[in-house]
Amino acid sequence: MFEYGYTIIPSIVLGVLSRLSMLRIDSRQYPSYPQGTFSHLTLGIIAAALGSVAVPALAEKEFAAVTFLALAAQQFRDVRNLERQSLDNMEPTELVARGTAYIEDIAKAFEARNYMTILTSVIVSIVIFTLTQANIHKTLAILIGILIGFIAIIYFNRAISRQTIQDIADVYPAKIEFQGPLLTVNGVIIMNIGLKASREIYMKNGIAVEIIPKDENGIATLANLGQRQAIQHNAATQLGIRKDKDEPDFTPIARRDPHTGNVVMAIVSLEPDVECLVEAVKNTIVLESSKRKPLDSKAGRKAAD
Amino acid sequence: MDVGLKDTILAIITTDRDVVSSGSVPIFYAKDEDEKEKIALLIAKVTLGMIHDLENGCYIIVKH
């Protein structure tokens, strides 16, 4: 096998690097550190190894080995199920739920990242292998392979990076008011809060935002309940929410103005700083499964003007 | 699995006997506004429900 060491080793290294570049540990703490991260890193190494042996296996006319590769690739589809299940199980323990759409999006991302790793490895091994077949010196072939590998990593990272809310909408601070027991933000009714003490807390510490979509695509995307749930979750986790399990009054709810498609949300956070809320909402990702593009259809374009 | 009554009225707290009639939902009569607030809060804490104001002297508790 080590006849092909010069293709296999660089492509495994590049593959693992590509997985590492997509394995970020940030405020979301997902994948969780250290155990979750470690298992994903291990899977990444396996994926890289799979991708890098594909070309040498073909060169040796080991077609059975290639079918085994396909079988192994199937395993990565389970990554999605695994992530979905574990997030679903944790959902009741969240004060503000992530929502099924957000969970689906995270699960999809983890599956896709493993495929990116396999692809990076395959690309590097193809480049090195073909260059050496074309009688180019091995060292040079490996160097070119590594270069192409890095370009692939950058390209894939760009290709799967997702939009954030600030790309599809403007976010402004908004005003909380009560019409009797009804909590309203900029005139849009959010919910009925009966308890006077809760209303006082809202008036004193509550902050609110209005999300104004830039076009019809944004309106349709923000209408999705899963997308709004993701915004609520992000705002609550980043600002720190003033709520416990037995205080449903303070659950942040993003409601839609049915006339304009604008979305408003009020939240009582531990730190009532509206600038931070605007920032948190702006940086929420646009969920792949919530994204709608009515403007790409003929009827949608016509209806928009 | 989490089993419970959701999105239904769990209890009614009122100061006005005329606006409610007995049914399947427990009704709690309060002497005045303050007592109404207090009973509503106590029931809401037990049921993990939310208090809604019907503006006719009634509070309802609903779990969402």
Backbone phi and psi for residue B3, each to the nearest 5 degrees, phi listed first: -110, 130
B28 belongs to a structural domain: yes
pLDDT in tens, chain A (305 residues): 578 899 999 999 999 999 999 888 777 778 888 888 898 999 999 999 999 988 998 888 888 887 877 777 788 888 899 899 999 999 999 999 999 999 999 999 988 999 999 999 999 999 999 999 999 999 999 999 999 999 999 999 999 888 999 999 999 999 999 999 999 999 999 999 999 999 999 999 999 999 999 999 999 999 999 999 999 999 999 999 999 988 999 999 999 999 999 999 999 998 899 999 999 999 999 999 999 999 999 999 998 87
Order across the sheet with B9-14: list the strands: B27-29, B9-14, B58-62, B50-53
Q: What is the largest CA-CA distance in chain A?
A: 82
Can you read off the two tokens belonging to residue A281?
A: 């909402």
Instruction: Determine whether the interchain pair A248/B50 forms a contact, defined as Cβ–Cβ distance below 8 Å.
Output: yes
B46 belongs to a structural domain: yes
| Chain A residue with the nearest C-alpha to that of B52 | A194
State the count of interchain CB pairs (< 8 A) between A and B: 40
Task: Please state the domain count of chain B.
Answer: 1
Query: Which residues of chain B have a CB within 8 Å of the CB of A198?
Result: 51
Burial (CB < 10 A; 0-12, 13-18, 19+), residue A102, is buried
Kindly report, residue by residue over A90-101, the tens digit of the pLDDT.
999 999 999 999
Mutate to test the interface with A, among B53, B55, B59, B62 (most CBs of A within 10 A): B53
CA–CA distance, A98 with A230 (Å, rounded to integer): 6
The candidate with the shortest Cα–Cα distance to A58, out of A134, A149, A122, is: A122
DSSP A136: -
ipTM of the prediction:
0.89
Query: Which residues of chain A have a CB within 8 Å of the CB of B3?
Result: none
B2 belongs to a structural domain: no
Query: Which residues of chain B have a CB within 8 Å of the CB of A245?
Result: 48
Cβ atoms of A87 and A107 closer than 8 Å: yes
Can you read off the two tokens belonging to residue A138?
A: 């091995």
Query: By residue range, what is the domain housing residue B40?
Result: 9-62
CA distances from A13 to A1, A10, A124 (A): 17, 5, 10
Q: Chain A residues within 8 A (CB-CB) of chain B? A: 92, 180-181, 192-198, 245-246, 248-249, 251
